[in-house]
């Protein structure tokens, strides 16, 4: 007992790596949806070199420099999201329908001269819902003997014992009463602590900890909500209608929440001919991440001559510098046979009971990777335009820091090991059948960010209790669109179909079968605007 008291007191004086932010959340905050004006979406976002569309403010800021008049617009849409999961022969489908306000902005075009090198100085502002987290997912199936989330709990308890000397005394949350010190200790991980107090694992015969691992029915469901709102402020310059330069400052508002439940049912506990009742457990975790970020984007477009229809674009985006806050709570209900009491006992572990009904959390910083964008635009007369873009981000270079600036070394080494460079290709074409009416089509390809063997590597003293993770594969987006351009008013309509597959795991275990997941999203987007 003295050992446990010593570490509990020591934890209040010394700052250690008690927190754990995962690369899976960081990837969510790094990648973006294809969203913006309906014209931009209809052409697959491949407008970096073509410009003169307000959504290029976030891909190639120089695109705003091609405006020769003012522009004000707004976009809204409707979408359906489908998630299909298959685990050991069982398939589940979930569908969500939602309306969205996607985009709003304006461009103020200021003509300087017809004869000087500087022709236009333009200013732009754009709001975009750059990321939607809205998703529901469920799976269920039979786990073979020896495969259980409780094995991960016991494994983390062994790691705490080896690295920090944390034994059962400090891992016990209740300790005969309400004792929040253990949940707030820099050395105690919530996952093993909740498992220990729920009697889901016990001391092993040869030291350390081990869980009982019978065959079980397992189930999981999660509900993710929120998104990232992006606000871009731009200034751009037109030099001799040949060189266009632009600069954008981006501000980001993050709101993310995830409520997930995982459980295992072991059936009735039998001893001889006596049935002592059903054994099971269910753990529900709620995570909330909020915060803000800022980045800087630089872009240029080169047009060799009026006669030469090819345009070249290049842009560099700084990392997004996020200041974020994570808050979490957990509730576990287990029913486990007690040899001493000769019956199945119910154990409830609720973090709210020990933390004054409050979520527990911390502040941290996330720096996303640099982004490099190269684009081509080709215009055939006044009727056909073709755009192509390539973009690269090295996800393994993202970095985590504590709020005081100190490096989160565990998370940074995990990112370097388990993430890789992401390549994006965008293609788009627009055909004006008459000057007022245009048809569009586009395609996107985004390569996977995760190494094939990536997993959710929680530090042993992490406050995370949601052990699930999904290794997302390459994403494909297909788009169609049409538009009307009057003397002043314009309207554009776009349809987008996005799909990607993922390998999902409810917890980390070498023998856990993969859950095959297919995500698909259909979106219809309408943009209304005026140029004057």
Q: Note the pLDDT of residue 4.
A: 38
Q: Average the pLDDT over 367-386 and give the result.
A: 94
**Does residue 276 form part of some domain?**
no
Q: Is residue 265 part of a domain?
A: no
- The span from the CA of 417 to the CA of 202, in Å, is 32
- Higher pLDDT residue, 221 or 1? 221
Q: Residue 24 pLDDT > 90, yes or no? A: yes
**Does residue 2 have a pLDDT over 70?**
no
Q: Is residue 171 part of a domain?
A: no
Does the structure show a pLDDT above 60 at 434?
A: yes
pLDDT tens-place string over residues 500-519 = 999 999 999 999 999 999 99
Which structure tokens are listed for 128?
A: 């975009």
- Answer yes or no: is pLDDT of 18 > 60: no
CA dihedral 137, 451, 151, 162 (to 10 degrees): -140
Burial environment of residue 339 by CB neighbours within 10 A (0 to 12, 13 to 18, 19 or more): exposed
Which stretches of 112-215 are assigned E, i.e. beta strand?
118-132, 135-143, 202-203, 209-210
Cβ count near 202 (within 10 Å): 13
Residue 279 falls within a domain, yes or no? no
Cβ–Cβ < 8 Å for 2, 97: no
What is the Cα Rg of the chain in Å? 27
Number of structural domains in the chain: 1
Averaged pLDDT for residues 372-396: 95
pLDDT band at 174 (very low <50, low <70, confident <90, very high): low
Specify if 355 maps to a domain: no
The per-residue pLDDT for 294 is 98
Give the model confidence (pLDDT) of 56-68 as tens digits. Answer: 999 999 999 999 9
Task: Please choose, from the candidates 182, 26, 8, 153, the residue with its C-alpha nearest in 3D space to the C-alpha of residue 465.
Answer: 153
Higher confidence at residue 13 or residue 123? 123
In a domain, 274, yes or no: no
With a cut of 90, say whether residue 275 has pLDDT above it: no
Per-residue model confidence (pLDDT) at position 274: 79
Would you say residue 89 lies in a domain?
A: yes
Mean confidence (pLDDT) of the chain: 91
pLDDT at residue 9 greater than cutoff 90 = no
- The CATH number of the domain where 430 resides is what? 2.40.160.60
Q: Is 284 a domain residue?
A: no
* Structure token pair of residue 397: 């270079």
**Structural contact between residues 139 and 89, judged by C-beta atoms closer than 8 angstroms:** no
Residues spanned by the domain of 404: 17-163+222-255+289-327+362-531
């Amino acid at each position: 007992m003295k050992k446990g008291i010593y570490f509990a007191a020591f934890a209040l004086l010394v700052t250690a790596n008690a927190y754990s932010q995962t690369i899976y959340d960081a990837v969510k905050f790094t990648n973006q949806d294809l969203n913006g004006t309906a014209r931009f979406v209809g052409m697959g976002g491949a407008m970096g070199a073509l410009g003169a569309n307000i959504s290029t403010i976030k891909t190639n800021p120089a695109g705003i420099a091609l405006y020769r008049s003012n522009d004000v617009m707004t976009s809204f849409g409707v979408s359906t999201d489908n998630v299909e999961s298959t685990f050991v022969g069982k398939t589940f489908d979930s569908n969500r329908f939602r309306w969205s306000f996607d985009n709003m902005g304006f461009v103020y075009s200021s003509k300087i001269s017809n004869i000087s090198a500087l022709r236009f100085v333009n200013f732009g502002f754009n709001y975009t819902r750059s990321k939607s987290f809205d998703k529901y997912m469920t799976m269920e199936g039979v786990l073979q003997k020896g495969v259980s989330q409780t094995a991960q709990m016991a494994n983390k308890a062994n790691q705490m014992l080896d690295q920090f000397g944390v034994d059962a005394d400090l891992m016990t949350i209740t300790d005969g009463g309400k004792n929040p010190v253990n949940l707030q200790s820099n050395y105690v991980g919530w996952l093993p602590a909740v498992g220990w107090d729920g009697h889901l694992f016990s001391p092993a015969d040869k030291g350390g900890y081990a869980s009982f691992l019978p065959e079980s029915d397992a189930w999981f469901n999660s509900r993710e909500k929120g998104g990232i709102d992006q606000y871009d402020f731009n200034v751009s310059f037109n030099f001799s209608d040949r060189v266009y330069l632009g600069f954008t400052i981006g501000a980001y508002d993050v709101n993310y929440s995830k409520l997930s439940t995982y459980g295992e049912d072991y059936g009735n506990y039998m001893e001889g001919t006596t049935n002592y009742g059903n054994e099971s457990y269910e753990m529900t975790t709620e995570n909330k991440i909020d915060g803000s970020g800022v980045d800087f984007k630089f872009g240029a477009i080169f047009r060799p001559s009026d006669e030469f229809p090819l345009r070249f674009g290049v842009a560099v985006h700084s990392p997004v510098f996020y200041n974020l806050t994570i808050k979490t709570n957990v509730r576990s209900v287990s029913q486990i046979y007690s040899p001493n009491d000769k019956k199945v006992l119910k154990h409830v572990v609720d973090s709210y009971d020990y933390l004054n009904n409050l979520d527990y959390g911390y502040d941290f910083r996330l720096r996303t990777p640099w982004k490099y964008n190269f684009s081509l635009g080709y215009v055939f007369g006044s009727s056909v335009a073709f755009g192509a873009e390539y973009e690269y981000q090295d996800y393994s270079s993202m970095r985590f820091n504590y709020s005081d600036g100190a490096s989160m070394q565990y998370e940074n080494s995990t990112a370097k090991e388990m993430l890789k460079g992401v390549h994006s290709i965008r293609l788009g074409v627009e055909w004006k059948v008459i000057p007022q009416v245009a048809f569009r089509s586009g395609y996107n390809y985004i390569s996977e960010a995760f190494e094939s063997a990536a997993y959710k590597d929680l530090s042993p003293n992490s406050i995370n209790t949601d052990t699930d993770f999904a290794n997302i594969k390459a994403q494909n987006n297909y788009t169609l669109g049409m538009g009307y351009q009057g003397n002043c008013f314009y309207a554009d309509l776009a349809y987008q179909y996005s799909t990607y597959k993922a390998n999902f795991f409810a917890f980390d275990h070498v023998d856990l079968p993969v859950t095959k997941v297919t995500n698909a999203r259909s979106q219809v987007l309408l943009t209304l605007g005026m140029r004057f």
